[in-house]
């Protein structure tokens, strides 16, 4: 399995990636939206995507939407199907648009990138995994929500233990601000 950290683990990855662990009872969209607003108010540039649930469909599953943090644009991530649909409803074209948006935010040099989720596809080596790696390698502080049962897969991908974030907007924003200020290099100044 590909990992980001070398052996021994690279402390820079753990210091720049914050993970919000959630379970079925928590929807990370609201707390991360509030954290993004707090960071902007503190002068930190924030971009990326936030995933939220939509209305319950005839299939019994909830719709999935992605909100672009910087522009407010919305992408529908699922393909609505009939009442008997049981297969994956992920719209791969929508996922490709989401990947493009994340790359756009990374290329823009945004300080804090929020990735909508480290989900099943990412755990299996696909999805937005490449964009997560690009954001980390570009020097951004990356915030990733992950369901508790997928934390081990995320840590295997990172190659080191994750920095677990508090489940409050102020706690997340405080950690991300400290991390962003620590890793930001003033223009014209090269690290030793």
pLDDT tier at 54, thresholds 50, 70, 90 = low
Q: Can you tell me the mean pLDDT for 7-35?
A: 80
| Residue 32: inside a domain | yes
| Residue 144: inside a domain | yes
Question: How many angstroms separate the CA atoms of 59 and 78, rounded?
Answer: 12
Residues 149-163 have pLDDT tens digits of 999 999 999 998 889
| Residue 6: inside a domain | no
Residue 29 is part of which domain span?
Answer: 11-183
Residue 188 confidence (pLDDT) above 70: no
Question: How many angstroms separate the CA atoms of 178 and 186, rounded?
Answer: 15
Helix (H, G, I), strand (E, B) or coil at 73: coil
| Residue 166: inside a domain | yes
pLDDT tier at 30, thresholds 50, 70, 90 = very high
Q: Which one, of 56, 1, 10, 2, lies nearest residue 161 by Cα?
A: 10
Specify the CATH number for the domain of residue 80. Answer: 3.40.50.300
Question: How many angstroms separate the CA atoms of 187 and 146, rounded?
Answer: 33
Are 115 and 131 in contact, with CB atoms under 8 Å apart? yes
| Residue 22: inside a domain | yes
Question: How many angstroms separate the CA atoms of 105 and 47, rounded?
Answer: 6
| Residue 4: inside a domain | no
Q: How many domains does the chain have?
A: 1
| Residue 188: inside a domain | no
- How confident is the model at residue 25, as a pLDDT? 76
| Residue 5: inside a domain | no
């Amino acid at each position: 399995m590909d990992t980001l950290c070398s052996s021994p683990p690279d402390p820079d990855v753990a210091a720049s990636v914050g993970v919000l662990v959630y379970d079925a009872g928590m929807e990370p969209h609201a707390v991360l939206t509030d954290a993004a607003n707090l960071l902007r108010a503190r002068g930190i540039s924030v971009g990326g995507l936030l995933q939220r649930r939509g209305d319950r469909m005839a299939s019994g599953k909830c719709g999935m939407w992605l909100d672009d943090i910087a522009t407010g644009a919305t992408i529908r991530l699922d393909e609505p199907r009939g009442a008997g649909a049981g297969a994956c409803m992920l719209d791969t074209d929508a996922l490709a648009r989401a990947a493009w948006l994340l790359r756009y935010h990374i290329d823009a040099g945004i300080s804090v990138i929020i990735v909508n989720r480290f989900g099943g596809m990412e755990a299996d080596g696909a999805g937005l995994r490449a964009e997560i790696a690009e954001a980390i390698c570009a020097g951004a502080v990356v915030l990733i929500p992950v369901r508790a049962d997928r934390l081990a897969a995320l840590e295997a991908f990172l190659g080191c233990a994750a920095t677990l974030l508090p489940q409050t907007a102020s706690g997340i924003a405080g950690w991300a601000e400290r991390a962003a200020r620590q890793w930001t290099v003033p223009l014209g100044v090269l690290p030793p």
